[in-house]
Amino acid sequence: MLRALTSALRLPGPWRPLRTRGCASHGATRDREIQVRALTGRDQGITEILMNRPSARNALGNVLVSQLLEALAQLWEDQQVRVLLFRSGVKGVFCAGADLKEREQMSEAEVGIFVQRLRGLMNEIAFPAPTIAAMDGFALGGGLELALACDLRVAVASSAVMGLIETTRGLLPGAGGTQRLPRCLGVALAKELIFTGRRLSGAQAQALGLVNHAVSQNEEGNAAYHRALELAQEILPQAPIAVRLGKVAIDRGMEVDIASGMAIEGICYAQNIPTQDRLEGMAAFREKRSPRFVGK
């Protein structure tokens, strides 16, 4: 069992730079429904994924899903990404969920295939580095499922509205909501929210533990993004391999009994022992200075 776990928990191999890195603000890229931007300066290491489909309030249609899958596939190979931040380029909305107008034109078989793609997308968001959802507006159905697939969530307290509302449309959550919401809030509360299709404000969501932080909105309509960026900046200086392995230990450990979880933690810890960053952390402590972690 431990041998299988060791293989499953091995860190990704050599990474390659993202081909579209730094191009999100130029030319035809502005017209893409998914834009990728690697921050620079003191924020180097933070990469943003911007959802920009104003005509459909960032609804999860074929094009947006395909572009998001493409972006994630490239980012998985980019060792420079220490934090991945999901945000919206459409004011007042994070993601309105499934594109029901597009879905209406699909056959039953096509619906099944597309929902399976959505499920796969949410699994891809379970990224090696920490992920943060900046929810500056509505996050309904698949939009909330996307946020639930992230490690951390920040929302505006009053104007953010979120919920797994599928039962009000004759549906049920199909992109991970029935699995991730109870893992986040507990079974009874998740059932209540899914059965009723209830919508929550950002403040209510924070009180339940659905979001990490709820903030007052600003005039620009991007307060959640700025708080999410601050959170990313707080993660950024920490040892990236240790952070990733800590994420693996938590995520995998939550799926098993405590004894197996402790074994997973031990495997992750062992992988961190030979890293340069561990030695740098010890040296910085001894020399009473800030560590300079390089991800090796």
List, by residue number, the catalytic residues: 98, 142, 145, 166
Q: In angstroms, rounded to a whole number, what is the distance separating the alpha carbons of residues 97 and 143? A: 4
Q: In angstroms, rounded to a whole number, what is the distance separating the alpha carbons of residues 190 and 182? A: 5
65 closest CA partner among 154, 167, 160, 142: 142
Could you tell me which residues are beta bridge partners of residue 46?
83
Q: In angstroms, rounded to a whole number, what is the distance separating the alpha carbons of residues 241 and 278? A: 9
Could you tell me which residues are beta bridge partners of residue 87?
50
Q: Helix, strand or coil for residue 212? A: coil
DSSP for 241-295, please give it: HHHHHHHHHHHHHTTS-HHHHHHHHHHHHHHHTT-HHHHHHHHHHHHTS------
Q: Helix, strand or coil for residue 152? A: strand
User: Would you give the end-to-end CA distance of the chain in angstroms?
Assistant: 27
Q: Could you tell me if 33 and 53 are in contact, meaning their C-beta atoms sit under 8 angstroms apart?
A: yes
In the block, which residue shows the tokens 């994630």? Answer: 72
